[in-house]
Structure 1
Amino acid sequence: MIRKPIPAAIALVAIGLLAGCGQNPDSPEENKGKNAAFLVEPQYPSIEDALVDVKEVLKPTTYLNNDFTGKSFDPVPADAPLEPLTVGLSWIANDQFAAYYIAQSKGYFRDAGFEVELIPGGPGKNPIGLLVAGQIDFVSSSNGSALIRLQHSRTGGDAIAVGALFRKYPYAWVGLDPKTPSDQRSERKITAEDFRGQRIGAEPGSEYLTAFTLEQMGVSPDEVEIKRTSTAIEPLLEGAFEFMTCWMDNMPRMLEARGHKNWFVWEFAEHGWADFGNVIMTTRSTVENEPEKISRYLWALSRAVEFIIENPEESAEIVKAAIPETSLTLELIGKRLAYQSDLSLPVGDAPMLSIDPETWERTAAILLYYGVIEKMPPQLQTTSE
């Protein structure tokens, strides 16, 4: 069963944002102070130095447990009672969550003994909060950073990662290549010289991602004009920005659908950013008391991922039928599934959906480096009187 979300109102682009269309960005001198909200000061000499502290204090087992992937089961009998299971999604119902719709449609959840209800997320919703509060059984989080930040918040939370659909976080900067006609694919990657002197639009909460980009490029914050934006493509098409943050499996296909094949990107994962996508979380109490429940759940999702890889066209049809309110065409859904399939393939002998502890350590190190988290979770710190 899929719980239908309330249709969201069409997002309006701020007048102040559009006022900059067609204008030249400010000079470095004029940009001084304007980007203050996006300036995140490193707390260590380097990410490698932060990684040393992570290995000493922030053990991966604080956040993840890989004991439940790679297991197989016989389907439960057809007349067996099914256990109700609630799964919180990190965003509104869309093809990002294809594996869940496939697992429902093909009966993989049922074979595992579950009747699953998918609960869409969206603006103002907090599925991880629902998990910690004991109101749902599992969560599909956009990334692993969210869990690390939770564990280092003032209150912490009873949550742990048990798998991930994507072995890397498909986040990027995207722009339209001015050196390539719009009806042709660009072969270029975004460089520091492309960034300098330009207007870049970043999503709220991406300050440390922006700082990471500029540091890796060797670009000073004063050399760009940074403003907040949404995930809609209109500001890019209308010239409000030269570059925007995006999900690689989503915005490029939307740009192509609008006649712009000449997009080019700077992918975080290609420049040392470590994280996972669509991270599967549950509670520690479930890990301790119901381990087979987790293994069966991951088994169902693994079968769904394998089906998508082997049957892309049928998968696109199933996903479109699962979210009838979507305006996405089968072609657009197919493009996303093709990109996701590559992200889902395991590396080496690792089981499907497993999480690499070293990648997780580096994720924590980056957050620690930029001061997003503290070395010791606040709730574990003691103060002397």
Structure 2
Amino acid sequence: MPQVTLYLKWVPQYQFAGYLVAEKKGYYKDAGLDVHIVPGGPNINTVQEIADGAAQFGIQTAEPIFYAYSHGLNLTMLMADFQEPYEEFMVKKSSKIMSVKDFAGKTVGINIGGLSQLLLPVMLESEGVDPSSVHTVRKTISLTPFLSDRVPIWNGYVGNEPFQAMNQGVPVREFKLAKYVPNWYGDVLFAKSSYVTNHPDIVRKFVSASQKGWVFATEHPKETIAIIRKINPQKSDKALSQEAQAAIPLMTSAATKTHCFGWMDAGRVSAMEKDMVKFGGWQKSGALPAPETFFSNQYLSCAH
């Protein structure tokens, strides 16, 4: 039985539900695979782990995959776990910041190096705000700078930070990236392009079993939460329920209903490339690579 490793980008939670379900319910074994799932954390770089051969599959947002290409590392996105970005910005509901236009002149606590840092300027420009008018600082794991009003705008994940604030008695107003940057996907499953080419059968089996896990997670959140709690008991039922409520709507789209879970679109990937050039300092000269350089739908169960 082939052994493969998957690196998550963070600790086990609903954000990775499909893979956790597929492992615990035996979907990978049924496909003839022995899968080891490694939790992520602040010191885990999934792209580096894949580049070094420590794992065959990883979870990441798309921008490091584009940057890797510029450094000679070809990676292939195999499935979009989230059809829309999983990140957002939030302010206190009592704040006078009512729209993105009100971000001008304000300080934003942001995940430095993350997708939100790249897409904040995209979001601002879409609303007619000069990105240079916004001051960004590195966000902390603790919400204290936000709760104490030192940093009025806070970056986070739709299923985490807003609920952390509300659970501390501070209701928030949310500005979800999905509304302002509709072409971007959230987390994606990826592998080295060379691995995909050399092991198509393993890739197809892994992707298909993972899809099955994700479909289960979108349709059966209570049972999925119970599975995740056994893997990561530090996550409470309440926290996972809140996360599922926020995350599940981002996992599907018109395209997934037409095709299948995880489907990616060449037009959207092409638009992502253009944002990378304009806001991410990527591929400043020459023609952009074809979007199919970076993704493939052929290993999805609906594609064969």
Q: Same fold (TM over 0.5)?
A: yes
TM-score by length of 1: 0.68
Give deviations 1:172-225, integer Å, cap 9, x for gaps: 111111169xxxxxxx963313x2443321221254433333323333456544
User: What's 1:145 paired with?
Assistant: 63
Q: Which runs of structure 2 are paired with 1:18-37 in the superposition (5 Å)?
A: none
Give 2:80's match in structure 1, choosing from 142, 158, 164.
164
How many corresponding residue pairs?
A: 284
User: What's 1:332 paired with?
Assistant: 239
Output the amino acid matched with 1:158.
N
User: What's 1:296 paired with?
Assistant: 205
Q: Which runs of structure 2 are paired with 1:215-364 in the superposition (5 Å)?
A: 215-220=125-130, 223-260=133-170, 262-324=171-233, 326=234, 328-347=235-254, 348-364=257-273
1:302 and 1:352 in contact (8 A); partners too: yes
- Offset at 1:375? 4.1
2:119 and 2:181 in contact (8 A); partners too: no
User: What's 2:36 paired with?
Assistant: 117
Identity of aligned residues (%): 22
1:202 and 1:229 in contact (8 A); partners too: yes
Which structure has the highest helix share of the two?
A: 2
- Paired with 1:136 and 1:329, the residues of 2 have a C-alpha distance of 29
- Paired with 1:122 and 1:332, the residues of 2 have a C-alpha distance of 18
- Paired with 2:141 and 2:105, the residues of 1 have a C-alpha distance of 22
- Uncovered stretches (5+) of structure 1, i.e. residues with no partner: 1-81, 181-187, 381-385
User: What's 1:176 paired with?
Assistant: 92
- Offset at 1:259? 1.9
Q: 1:220 to 1:315 in 2, by over 3 A?
A: same
1:86 and 1:136 in contact (8 A); partners too: yes
Q: 1:272 to 1:345 in 2, by over 3 A?
A: closer
Give 1:204's match in structure 2, choosing from 99, 103, 112.
112
- Paired with 1:246 and 1:219, the residues of 2 have a C-alpha distance of 21
1:98 aligns with 2:17: yes
Cα RMSD (Å): 2.5
Q: 1:274 to 1:315 in 2, by over 3 A?
A: same
- Uncovered stretches (5+) of structure 2, i.e. residues with no partner: 290-304
- Paired with 1:161 and 1:275, the residues of 2 have a C-alpha distance of 13
| Structure showing greater Rg | 1
Secondary structure in structure 2 of the residue aligned to 1:175 = strand
Give deviations 1:308-358, integer Å, cap 9, x for gaps: 12221111111111112x2x3212201212322222224241221111111
Output the amino acid matched with 1:199.
T
- Offset at 1:171? 1.7
1:190 and 1:265 in contact (8 A); partners too: no
2:75 and 2:193 in contact (8 A); partners too: yes
Output the amino acid matched with 2:34.
E
Output the amino acid matched with 1:99.
G
Q: Which runs of structure 2 are paired with 1:182-193 in the superposition (5 Å)?
A: 190-193=99-102
User: What's 1:59 paired with?
Assistant: none
2:14 and 2:247 in contact (8 A); partners too: no
TM-score by length of 2: 0.84
1:189 and 1:266 in contact (8 A); partners too: no
User: What's 1:85 paired with?
Assistant: 4
Output the amino acid matched with 1:301.
S
- Paired with 1:222 and 1:127, the residues of 2 have a C-alpha distance of 31
Secondary structure in structure 2 of the residue aligned to 1:116 = strand
- Paired with 2:176 and 2:85, the residues of 1 have a C-alpha distance of 9
